[in-house]
Amino acid sequence: MSSSTKNPATRTPTDAILESISDGVFTVDLEWRVTSFNRAAEEITGVPRSEAIGRLCSEVFRSSLCGDNCPLQDTLASGRPRIGTCGYIITAQGERIPISVSTAVFRDENGQVMGGAETFRDLSEIDALKRELEGRYHVGELFSRSPRMHKLFSMLPAIAASPSTVLLTGETGTGKELFARTIHSLSAHAGGPFIAVNCAALPDTLLESELFGVKAGAYTGANRDRLGRFAQARGGTIFLDEIGEISPALQVRLLRVLQERTFEPLGSSRTESTDARVIVATNRNLAELIRAGDFREDLYYRINVIRLELPPLRERKDDLPLLVEQFIRRLNRIQGRTVTGISTEALSLLMAHDWPGNIRELENCIERAFVLCGEGRIDIDHLPDELTLLAPRGHFGEGRAMHDMLDRQAIHAALERNDFNRLAAARELGIHKTTLFRRMKRLGMALPERDGRSSPKE
């Protein structure tokens, strides 16, 4: 009889403790059948104890961590516990609940392995609180703790409610398109399309047909009518990025659209109208372009009705941890991985960088580190060389040197204890074998001549 189904009068103190705690606890035998299931496990999963015991754990505990990601399977294979692995379960009622899982080997009084034990904690309240706290820092898909950004956030609802043209300025990679999408999502045009056009990506002849459309026969190869972006954006928003790159001739046509809300497709004599909300963006100084004769002053005044200047990432570095967490969470969701975060040292190195490419550069950096990390936390070894090699020498100071020395000692000791079996040493250190190789390379450690592959610990 399982301890969880004993008569209350015969329960041991351990049984009473397991029944009183708020964490779900269950055990499995070596055939992966549930042998005990406490009260909290019943409440969290929605599965009665009587139905759980004797069934395969994957049938009872339907989790994102089942299969190849199973932490309990890893514990039984390695003998090492797993602590605080995050995932989710699907309850008997079909509800998705975020959880934190810890595992251990389950042994009898003689020390023989009987199976595995798993505890899991319902993180729903913590998750809700986290979303509530994040809500103070974001509008739509925009996240920030920066006072400068909060000032912009506070203006967005009023800007979204207005039909006026918006000019977004700022360096490349500061998130101008994301701002434009947020304005669109908050506006009365949210149910319509959001059409983005990069004006710098096309030569004038192609850009004109892209914006205004083409009638069949307008030029050689125009075999059919094609809608332009202004027509496609009816009832929605059109976003013209890099508007400072368009020629003066095309600026004249664009000015007419903004003034009269009308245009003619190439090859047509018939005027068409558009009600699309217009948002434009540039990373160039339009005032300087006007002085140089490269940008029309009347067009500048037409687009500069509402202007928002987005600060570069180097001026809002308090946002960096929030952005890193957001990128990791999104990559975990897309790739089905469980990277748990970023180490303090790696984050410190990110904070020391000036990010000339702004948020786009940071996102690319985190995606690269995410791929190399595999599991656990992103560390310095996973960051690009341009960050680690060009970091200020005094950034980590003596603390970094001490950390490297201790890291070398730990790796060397693990290799010796495992007869220079590299895979076994990596497992003992709790890292992947490729991570061990990268770390040894960074620390200037040569791989041992013998790798202990014949060792039974492999």
Comparing CA positions, the residue from 66, 69, 43, 65 lying closest to residue 56 is 66
Quick: pLDDT tens for 261-287: 998 888 777 889 999 999 999 999 999
Expressed in percent and rounded to 5, the helix, strand and coil fractions of the chain are: 45, 20, 35
Q: Which residue has the higher pLDDT, 451 or 355?
A: 355
Buried b (16+ CB within 10 A) or exposed e, 238-274: bbbbbbbbbeeebbeebbebeeeeebebbebeeebeb
Mean pLDDT over all residues of the chain?
A: 83
pLDDT above 70 as % of the chain:
86
Residues 6+ away with beta carbon under 8 Å from 433: 422, 423, 426
pLDDT value at position 392? 47
Q: Which residue has the higher pLDDT, 325 or 13?
A: 325
Percent of the chain with pLDDT over 90: 35
pTM, entire model: 0.58
| 295 pLDDT more than 90 | yes
Q: How far apart are CA 428 and CA 443, in angstroms?
A: 19
Q: Which tokens is 303 given? A: 């687009």
Amino acid symbol at 410: A
User: Range with the lowest mean pLDDT among 123-132, 251-260, 409-418?
Assistant: 123-132
- pLDDT value, residue 18: 76
Residue 135 has pLDDT above 70, yes or no: no
Neighbouring C-beta atoms of residue 53, cutoff 10 Å:
19
Query: Is 60 exceeded by the pLDDT of residue 89?
Result: yes
- Angstrom distance (rounded) from CA 439 to CA 445: 8
User: 15-70: per-residue pLDDT in tens?
Assistant: 677 787 888 899 999 999 999 999 999 999 999 999 999 999 888 888 888 877 78
* pLDDT in the model for residue 279: 97
How far, CA to CA in Å, does 427 sit from each of 101, 131, 411, 440?
20, 35, 11, 15
DSSP tag of 445: P
Q: Mind giving me the DSSP string for 377-406?
A: EE-GGGS-HHHHTSS-TTTTHHHHHHHHHH
Summarize the confidence of residues 89-97 as an average pLDDT.
84
Q: In order of start, what are the domains of the chain with their CATH numbers?
A: 18-126 (3.30.450.20), 137-311 (3.40.50.300), 315-443 (1.10.8.60)
Q: How confident is the model at residue 133 (pLDDT cuts 50, 70, 90)?
A: very low
Q: How many CB atoms lie within 10 A of CB 278?
A: 24
- The pLDDT, as a whole number, for residue 69 is 77
Q: pLDDT tens digits for 172-229?
A: 999 999 999 999 999 998 999 999 999 998 888 789 888 998 887 666 666 778 888 9
Which band of pLDDT confidence, cut at 50, 70 and 90, is reported for residue 90?
Answer: confident
Copy the structure tokens of residue 134.
């994040």
**Rounded-to-integer distance, Cα 320 and Cα 355, Å:** 10
